[in-house]
A and B are shown apart, each in its own frame.
Chain A
Amino acid sequence: MRSTGTWRGRNQAFTFPVAASTLKAGENTLTISVASGSTASDWWLTPNFVFDYVRFL
Chain B
Amino acid sequence: MEVGTVATVTVTAGSTKTQNIASSEAAVSPVWSFGDRDGTPRGFYFADKIERTHPTIGSWPAQTLTAVSFAQCRQRPTAKADKSSLHPQGSSPASSFPMALWQGQNQPLTIKFTLTAAQVKASTVDVGVTSSFAGGRPTVAVNGVSGAIPDAPVKIDSRGVSRGALGSVRSRAIDRG
B167→A1 contact, CB < 8 A = yes
The closest CB in chain A to the CB of B125 belongs to A16
Docked CA distance A44–B69 (Å): 33
Chain-A contact segment, one of B4-12, B13-21, B72-80, B115-123: B115-123
Docked CA distance A28–B165 (Å): 41
Q: Of B31, B50, B148, which is within 8 A of A7 by CB?
A: B50
Per the CB 8 Å criterion, the residue count for chain B at the interface is 93
B147→A44 contact, CB < 8 A = no
B138→A49 contact, CB < 8 A = yes
B residues less than 8 Å from A54 (CB atoms): 33-35, 97, 111, 125-128
B residues less than 8 Å from A48 (CB atoms): 100-103, 132-134, 136, 160-162
B148→A51 contact, CB < 8 A = no
Contact count A vs B, C-beta below 8 Å? 340
Q: Of A1, A6, A30, A47, which is within 8 A of B103 by CB?
A: A47
Per the CB 8 Å criterion, the residue count for chain A at the interface is 55
B125→A18 contact, CB < 8 A = yes
Quote the shortest CB–CB distance from A46 to chain B (angstroms). 3
Interface string of B74-108 (1 = CB under 8 A from A): 00000000000000000000000111111111011
Docked CA distance A47–B102 (Å): 6
A36→B135 contact, CB < 8 A = yes
The closest CB in chain A to the CB of B39 belongs to A11
A11→B129 contact, CB < 8 A = yes
| Residues from 138 to 162 in B contacting A, C-beta threshold 8 Å | 138-145, 147-150, 152-154, 156, 158-162
Docked CA distance A7–B123 (Å): 28
Can you report 26 residue pairs joining A to B where beta carbons are below 8 Å apart? Answer: A4-B164, A6-B163, A7-B40, A7-B47, A11-B1, A11-B131, A12-B132, A13-B126, A13-B128, A14-B128, A18-B125, A28-B112, A28-B142, A29-B111, A32-B109, A33-B139, A35-B136, A44-B162, A48-B102, A48-B103, A49-B100, A49-B129, A53-B37, A53-B128, A55-B34, A57-B30
